[in-house]
Amino acid sequence: MVNFKKVMTSVVAGGLALSLAACGTSGTGETGSTGNSGKPLQVWTLSEDLKTFADYYMEQNPEKKVEVTIIAPADYPTKVSTALRGKSATPDIIVGEPQMLDGFMKAGYFEDLSQAPYNAGDYRDQLVDYVYEAGSDDEGIVRALSYQVTPGGILYRRDIAEKVYGDDSPEFMATKFADMKAMMQTAEEMKAAGYKVFSDTGNLRWFTNVGDDAKPWVVDNELQMTDGKMQYFDAAVKLYQEDLTAFAGEWSAAWYASMAGPIPATADAVEDFNAEEGASVSGPTTEVFSYALPTWGSLILRDNAGENVGNFGITTGMTPYFAGGTFVGINTYSQNKEAAWDFMKFVTLDEETASWWSEVSNGDIVSNKAVLEANKDLENEMFGGQKTYAFWLEQAQNIDLSMITEYDDEIGKFFGQAINAVQLGEKTKEQALADFYQNVKSVYPKIAVPQ
């Protein structure tokens, strides 16, 4: 069980410098030594997490050896594809974030874990459902599993909610973000009170598929331009043009600073603040009310909130969502599959390991339902004593993977570019959408787009 009092005493600055975050912190390096009947298990990963798992695994199993190579995320897909296109037996274990999984599966890189001797389906009830679904291919064959879940929510300042509404409960705040209309009203109310509803309009990107007509980006090779997507487009433009959000883009210095207190109120001042390391906040300021972030965002918030630690709550957004997460699988061409499966089970399916990981990761949300249930009544001091494990478990169970497609990253990027062009007054909405359709068609010629 996570000791949140201990977590709070270990707060450090620098959200992206987390040594153990939900998706892990990238770097380069190796751990382990030779062994495993003369052949160490080879693991390629893009985060520090599996290095920590491997060290613990070898502590528990001194006769077994694991070597972990950590590869920068930008280089990881190319390195894996280069090795496995050549049917290399190394590495034995590969990983993938959700956006990588479909490509790796279709290329045949992941071993079939549904069959003997793995029989991964036998363990289905142990893990949150979407982990099995996300780690399965188009035919329902399990190829990868994850030790963590990364559902999202709205992380908000309780003190600001109390000042503006006289109610800081997650139940009340859920009504303020229930749909686009409610969110826009909340944005207006926050501005009137001297705050900004979000750090920037990028917070809305998790809520592209909202509304009664919600559909994924592509269905039967046809681009789905639903009313919900157009609501998202219009809301993002209005939030920006009417100064309803701050200008603190994710991962910027101002974004981190906003978690602890006031930041510059204007776009130009924020740009100057971001450009000057260690700059002080001067001139007109504002404070950010909320952030749309997955589980790992709460760790970033924890490490940057300063005196606001303990002053946040978590509530639901317009629709359940998730982002990131490390999925572990076995290289189809590995010659060491028995050892690979033993390590993979230890990382993803062992309840004792999941409990250990909950502790050492200082708050990562594990995929093991028994451990989540065991911690459901734990009160998280970072979030005002809220039972965050229970919240994240419920959100994870509500994730609808049918809304996720292999096209989401690329099409989402193009849609964001279209919105940005209108926000800045560079294009009309009609021009921006026409360019958006052309960009989609240029990359995916088989997808039908509106005329």
Helix (H, G, I), strand (E, B) or coil at 249: coil
Given a contact cutoff of 8 angstroms between Cβ atoms, the answer to whether 157 and 312 are in contact is yes
Q: So what's the pLDDT on residue 382?
A: 83
pLDDT at 83: 97
Residues 49 and 38 grouped into a single domain: yes
Residue 383 in any domain: the answer is yes
Q: Which pLDDT band holds residue 192 (cuts at 50, 70, 90)?
A: very high
Supply 287's token pair. 């404070």
Q: 86 in a domain, yes or no?
A: yes
Of the chain, the percentage scoring pLDDT greater than 70 comes to 92
pTM given for the model: 0.84
pLDDT above 50: residue 415: yes
Return the bridge partners of 93, or none: 43, 330
Beta bridge partners of 96: 327
Q: pLDDT tens digits, residue range 309-344?
A: 999 999 999 999 998 899 999 999 999 999 999 999
Length of the chain measured in residues: 451
> Are both 57 and 110 inside the same structural domain?
yes
Residue 276's pLDDT band, with cuts at 50, 70 and 90, is confident
Q: Which pLDDT does position 30 carry in this prediction? A: 43
pLDDT tens-digit series, residues 224-265: 999 999 999 999 999 999 999 999 999 999 999 999 999 999
pLDDT of 5 over the 80 cut: no
Distances in Å between the alpha carbon of 201 and those of 149, 163, 348?
Answer: 25, 23, 35
Question: Which pairing describes strands 222-223 and 218-219: parallel, antiparallel, or unpaired?
Answer: antiparallel
CB atoms within 10 A of CB 451: 5
148/295 Cα distance (integer angstroms): 10
Angle at CA of residue 405, ends 236 and 427, nearest 5°: 30
Question: Please, which pLDDT band fits residue 401 given cuts at 50, 70 and 90?
Answer: confident
pLDDT at residue 160 tops 90: yes
Q: Are β-strands 41-45 and 66-70 bridged in parallel, bridged antiparallel, or unpaired? A: parallel
The span from the CA of 100 to the CA of 78, in Å, is 11
Alpha helices (runs of H) in 97-252, residue ranges in sequence order = 98-106, 129-134, 158-165, 170-176, 180-192, 227-241
pLDDT of residue 38: 62
Q: Is there a domain that residue 96 lies in? A: yes
Instruction: Decide if 234 is inside a domain.
Output: no
Q: Give the integer Cα–Cα distance in Å for 335 and 92.
A: 7
Judgement on whether residues 159 and 297 belong to the same structural domain of the protein: yes
* Of residues 106, 169, 98, the one with CA closest to residue 138: 106
Listed as own residue / partner, the contacts of 193-196 with beta carbons closer than 8 Å and 24 or more positions apart are 193/160, 193/163, 193/164, 194/286, 194/287, 195/160, 195/164, 195/286, 195/287, 195/288, 195/289, 196/244, 196/245, 196/246, 196/286, 196/287, 196/288, 196/289
Determine how β-strand 29-31 pairs with β-strand 285-294. unpaired
- Above 70 in pLDDT, residue 427? yes
Identity of residue 286: T
Say if residue 73 is in the same domain as residue 130: yes
Domain count, the chain: 2
Which of these three, 315, 344, 359, is where a domain ends? 315
Residue 424 domain flag:
no
What confidence category does residue 88 fall into, taking pLDDT thresholds of 50, 70 and 90?
Answer: very high
Query: Looking at residue 104, which CATH number applies to its domain?
Result: 3.40.190.10
Does residue 26 sit in the same domain as residue 94? Answer: yes
pLDDT band at 7 (very low <50, low <70, confident <90, very high): very low
Q: What is the Cα 219 distance to its own chain's centre?
A: 24
- Residue pair 236/208 in contact (Cβ under 8 Å)? The answer is no
Q: Is residue 449 a part of any domain in this protein?
A: no
The reply to whether 420 falls in a domain is: no
**Are 192 and 336 in a shared domain?**
no
* Same domain, yes or no: 114 and 12: yes
Residues 161 and 260 reside in one and the same domain: yes
Q: How far apart are CA 39 and CA 59, in angstroms?
A: 18
Please tell me whether residues 356 and 380 are part of one structural domain.
Answer: yes
CA distance 282 to 262: 10
Q: Which of 262, 287, 315 is the last residue of a domain?
A: 315
**C-alpha radius of gyration, the chain, whole number:** 22
Q: Which helix (H) or strand (E) holds 219?
A: strand 218-219
pLDDT, tens digit (0-9, with 9 covering 90-100), for 108-159: 999 999 999 999 999 999 999 999 999 999 999 999 999 999 999 999 999 9
Pair of tokens at residue 353: 């390991």
pLDDT-wise least confident of 32-36, 59-63, 153-157, 410-414: 32-36
Q: What is the pLDDT of residues 16-54, one digit of tens each?
A: 233 333 344 334 344 443 344 568 999 999 989 999 999
CA distances from 355 to 11, 42, 45 (A): 21, 25, 22
Helix (H) / strand (E) containing 45 = strand 41-45
Q: Do 300 and 158 sit in the same domain of this protein? A: yes
Residue 261 one-letter amino acid: G
**Residues 123, 260 share a domain:** no
Parent domain of 160: 152-200+245-315
Report how far residue 134's alpha carbon sits from residue 140's, in angstroms, rounded to the nearest whole number: 10
130 and 172 together in one domain: no
DSSP 261: S
Domain boundary pick from 298, 315, 332: 315
pLDDT in the model for residue 81: 96
Q: What is the pLDDT of residue 211?
A: 83
Band of pLDDT at residue 270, cut at 50, 70 and 90: very high
3-state class (DSSP) for residue 213: coil
Q: Does residue 191 lie in a domain region?
A: yes
